[in-house]
Structure 1
């Protein structure tokens, strides 16, 4: 898992601070409050850690940029202060890529199918595969959780606050399980095949539990409502079928009513109908006679007016002579014979009493008009009487019709009420039958689910056998643990750790992954990290255990990020008072970096610099002192508040 820190840039309010690193080892030393620890804290922040808000960082730093080589790819990681995501940029196959990655994995992959967050990106780029392990090791049904880059990084970054108080969080209930998973994975007690088998086992058991739980709930439902078996349901269906048959017979036997009223009402209705027709015909006849006489009266009045106008015209023109025709203007010269019209030569009545016949005609017309008026008054009176009689007949017909309707409704309501009742009962029975037929399939479904769950038991057993076989292959893991024990002892002896002799034994408990020291092989006197006493010895103990893990990984080709950051190596140890411890530690550290850890990068933060030994290239050393222009602090212009 190749990783190498190249550059770190801090974008501050008034400057840009660039920190370079050696490919092999970088040593930052100097006085306190110069920003030494902030360098490695900012590396941790860019790699997904929490921000340590020192006064300088809180007031001056705006953004961090980390250039890191992951495998064969150089990646630029950018993260603003207090940001919840990280920007990554890299070049691959001549193309430049950029993505914004969250710190926590979400529902969907961000890149490809297997990168959900920054941790996945880092692991994949270093050549590893994101994996899942059981959250609770004692519970075989426990859900799986992700093993992240941060879990591995806990063994690569030994931070100052926890250097002498925590052994890789193995004492913390939640983080301890992931730390153990990392050690199991690195040392060969956890494989991709085993992880896949454990995931398959969890899925099969979850499916089996779901089937059995569903079958249990269905059975409880059926028992509650009396549907415990198909036989009980069939019995209810037979009962419904019997009731349905009886109702069908009753519906078929039910006849619609035909007689609604008594004969007297029916006869009276017929008589009134006939009378109504006769009266209506008589009224229609009277109206026709009225219309005829009114039309005749109008004609007589017109004749009378014409006769009056003709008589008046004759009197006006009597004795008139014409010299020319009033129509065409032809001269009239020929005299008319007596008794003929002077103008048209037509024969005329020359009697002087010609006015009398005209008056007689007018009088005759007046008499006829008067007769018609009398006849029309009589017809109008007759029409009123007939209309009154028709109204009375209509009222009687309405009363008879209402009586008939009431009788019909009374008879029909009884018939329809029972018919509707039968239909309603049939509908309920049919609906109940359909429901029972659906429910009838539930007992069979219960059995099918239980059979499926039982079949899954065989799959579960097979997967468990495969898991056992896979775990049996972990003989290499036991060899790796043995090598780790030997490396841990050799490093403790090399740095001259107090109270460690050649005859002392070291054993690593693969359940807790704590290393125990057995003075001269005495198990009753065993002690570990939490029993060392002084803080300085706890620091050396933890750093030595980390070096032993990385050395074993290097020797055995085990997967762990090839990076070690220590802040601060001599915490609680005074170099001038303990010069032998100081000298021996750095001598062994430099030796390891030039030998077994030749491919590793190491970053050290301490107060006192130990000159490099054995390195030809790849080293970097920086002294940091406040108010020293030659050795400026991390933020060159910052002097506190």
Structure 2
């Protein structure tokens, strides 16, 4: 159960800070804001706690490593502030080494071996402790089981500064107190492996019984809802279905086709569809002919318009060039010959008798004739377009009438189905329903018997549950050693309070540990009516001493009676709310008693102490380490030597 911490390494942005620990005691003291409490917080962080993000840690820390030894296993525990769900653990023992990224939360599948599901399981198994399961709610015998983690034990080994005067090991916090109680029960001998196994088996047996009864209840409700209360009822319905199916088979076999009704297809609509199809084809052809004629006449209009422009341009040129004498060709500049026989053109040498003469007198007539032809063609195009629109409209009407007639024909065809086919399908459908119903009944015929069998099996488990409850009571009755451990803890706690001169604690006072709440009470002169406890201590300083003395008494009892508790203790600021110069007697007495314990009963324990003022251990307490932390003394630097921000 001994976890020996050797060193803590802070990987910072500008340096690597190493903190060494003594095998017996390590005392860190000095000024405020130098990182004393951070040492304990980083140990807690490496052992599965959350990171306390002080300004220095938040701005400078890159990673942290804890080197420790558990029995014959050397551990290197590494955590990164950016990773909050797992811990990197490397280990070495007997020449074998391993490394795993262990999750903080347990999953469904073991990570290492068959029992280790998370980091806590790894630490517990390495310490030689079993992975414990306890009932979540102690007053509910049917409550589910939950695991005790390393962190549940660690709260009795690490007394952190913020909770020293505000919480008594979480026993005063309703939601979290049960696990603290479970740890004390286990450590003090009120929990055994046999009891754990019996409680686990009892929980599983009760769950199995609940499952059986719930399954039987649901099956029974289903059967009653659909009228299947008993096997006889189901068999009677199957017989009725068999009789009905036999009658249906006979009716289907003897069904004839002599009474088939005649066809009722609408012949008039069919004939109408043929006529409409012919009309639609005729209309389509007529529309195509009209479109062809429209295309031809529009093309002719375009040609006549082009001819008009050509005549107009020719007449204009003739008028302009009339009587002109050419000395050179206007196209190429060649000199025109003067020789001419007056029968041919001076330029093109064409026969003047056959030349049109530039449309001198007929051009106007030709233009008027072309205009008249164009107008006639436009009127013809308009008539064709009107005819085209009319034909398209008539075609649309014919198409609509044919579609309506086709729908009527299709509807009539769908309705024309013989009574024979209808009746045959109806009979086949009913026969299929009967067969499906019968298959269902055959499948569920055994359910009423299954309900009865499950209820009998569940009742049989009641005998096993009663037997387990008796065994648990018997096992709990064997806790004589646990009661002796409690007596020893009460005596050690009272002796410690007396040794440090705790105010108002007298020799004839009694200490009583309530085994229901697990709070220690002080009975002044044995008077139970005047009992007081941690929350009644009054000042914050007394609450701090009360809690620390109880933890030391628990560790002392564990050492004396060989109880399963990790053999180290970390105390951060035992003199919180206590001023050493004003209360020098309490200061001296506390450390004197602490060193006495470490030199005697707690000789195999490792203690890490953090306080503002150093108290020198005796020479007999060898292998101890002391470090002073200051802001400005180079020989006593702060935890992060280059950081002076806060």
Q: Could you say which TM-score interval applies, normalised by the shorter chain?
A: 0.7 to 0.9
1:603 aligns with 2:604: no
1:585 aligns with 2:624: no
Per-residue Cα deviation, 1:213-241 (whole angstroms, up to 9, x for no partner): 11111111111111122222223222222
Q: SS where residue 137 of structure 2 aligns?
A: coil
Tell me the equivalent position of 1:428: 433
Per-residue Cα deviation, 1:541-569 (whole angstroms, up to 9, x for no partner): 00000011001111110001001100111
Per-residue Cα deviation, 1:374-404 (whole angstroms, up to 9, x for no partner): xxxxxxxxxxxxxxxxxxxxxxxxxxxxxxx
Query: Separation in 2 of the partners of 1:30 and 1:434?
Result: 86
Query: Separation in 2 of the partners of 1:93 and 1:608?
Result: 42
| Cα distance change, pair 136–260 in 1 and its aligned pair in 2 (3 A) | closer
How far apart are 1:58 and its partner, in Å? Answer: 0.6
| Cα distance change, pair 259–4 in 1 and its aligned pair in 2 (3 A) | closer
How far apart are 1:48 and its partner, in Å? Answer: 0.5
Q: Aligned ranges for residues 493-572 of structure 1 at < 5 Å?
A: 493-572=498-577
How far apart are 1:23 and its partner, in Å? Answer: 0.2
Q: SS where residue 451 of structure 2 aligns?
A: helix
Q: SS where residue 493 of structure 2 aligns?
A: helix
Tell me the equivalent position of 1:27: 27
- Residue number among 436, 450, 466 corresponding to 1:461 in the alignment: 466
8 Å Cα contact 2:568/2:605 also seen in 1: yes
- Residue number among 623, 626, 630 corresponding to 1:625 in the alignment: 630
Tell me the equivalent position of 2:204: 203
> Normalization by structure 1: what TM-score?
0.75
Q: SS where residue 577 of structure 2 aligns?
A: coil
Query: Separation in 2 of the partners of 1:534 and 1:485?
Result: 23
8 Å Cα contact 2:5/2:68 also seen in 1: yes
| Cα distance change, pair 37–257 in 1 and its aligned pair in 2 (3 A) | same
1:492 aligns with 2:493: no
Q: SS where residue 566 of structure 2 aligns?
A: coil
Query: Separation in 2 of the partners of 1:439 and 1:258?
Result: 43
Query: Separation in 1 of the partners of 2:260 and 2:248?
Result: 25
Q: SS where residue 515 of structure 2 aligns?
A: coil
1:105 aligns with 2:106: yes
Higher gyration radius (CA): 1
Tell me the equivalent position of 2:182: 181
Query: Separation in 1 of the partners of 2:550 and 2:621?
Result: 27
| Cα distance change, pair 258–599 in 1 and its aligned pair in 2 (3 A) | same
1:37 aligns with 2:3: no
Q: Aligned ranges for residues 204-219 of structure 1 at < 5 Å?
A: 204-219=205-220
How far apart are 1:19 and its partner, in Å? Answer: 0.5
Query: Separation in 1 of the partners of 2:37 and 2:164?
Result: 13
Query: Separation in 2 of the partners of 1:124 and 1:626?
Result: 41
How far apart are 1:614 and its partner, in Å? Answer: 4.6
Tell me the equivalent position of 1:153: 154
Q: SS where residue 9 of structure 2 aligns?
A: strand
- Structure 2 stretches of 5 or more lacking a match? 263-414
8 Å Cα contact 2:260/2:418 also seen in 1: no
What is the aligned residue count?
494
| Cα distance change, pair 598–414 in 1 and its aligned pair in 2 (3 A) | same
Query: Separation in 1 of the partners of 2:432 and 2:81?
Result: 71
Tell me the equivalent position of 1:71: 71
Q: SS where residue 445 of structure 2 aligns?
A: helix
Tell me the equivalent position of 2:222: 221
Q: SS where residue 176 of structure 2 aligns?
A: helix
How far apart are 1:616 and its partner, in Å? Answer: 4.5
Tell me the equivalent position of 1:118: 119
8 Å Cα contact 2:595/2:621 also seen in 1: no
Tell me the equivalent position of 1:238: 239
Tell me the equivalent position of 2:14: 14
Q: Aligned ranges for residues 74-473 of structure 1 at < 5 Å?
A: 74-84=74-84, 85-255=86-256, 257=258, 413-473=418-478
Per-residue Cα deviation, 1:279-306 (whole angstroms, up to 9, x for no partner): xxxxxxxxxxxxxxxxxxxxxxxxxxxx
8 Å Cα contact 1:70/1:122 also seen in 2: no
8 Å Cα contact 2:6/2:67 also seen in 1: yes
Query: Separation in 2 of the partners of 1:259 and 1:195?
Result: 83
How far apart are 1:95 and its partner, in Å? Answer: 2.3
How far apart are 1:460 and its partner, in Å? Answer: 1.4
Query: Separation in 2 of the partners of 1:117 and 1:424?
Result: 61
Per-residue Cα deviation, 1:188-224 (whole angstroms, up to 9, x for no partner): 0011111111111111111111111111111111111
Q: SS where residue 622 of structure 2 aligns?
A: coil
8 Å Cα contact 1:594/1:614 also seen in 2: no
8 Å Cα contact 1:51/1:82 also seen in 2: no
Query: Separation in 1 of the partners of 2:261 and 2:517?
Result: 99
8 Å Cα contact 2:41/2:51 also seen in 1: yes
Query: Separation in 2 of the partners of 1:514 and 1:602?
Result: 24
Larger deviation, residues 220-229 vs 131-140: 220-229
How far apart are 1:260 and its partner, in Å? Answer: 10
8 Å Cα contact 1:71/1:127 also seen in 2: no
Tell me the equivalent position of 1:289: none
Larger deviation, residues 86-95 vs 48-57: 86-95
How far apart are 1:97 and its partner, in Å? Answer: 1.1
Q: CA RMSD in A?
A: 1.8
- Residue number among 460, 478, 481 corresponding to 1:476 in the alignment: 481
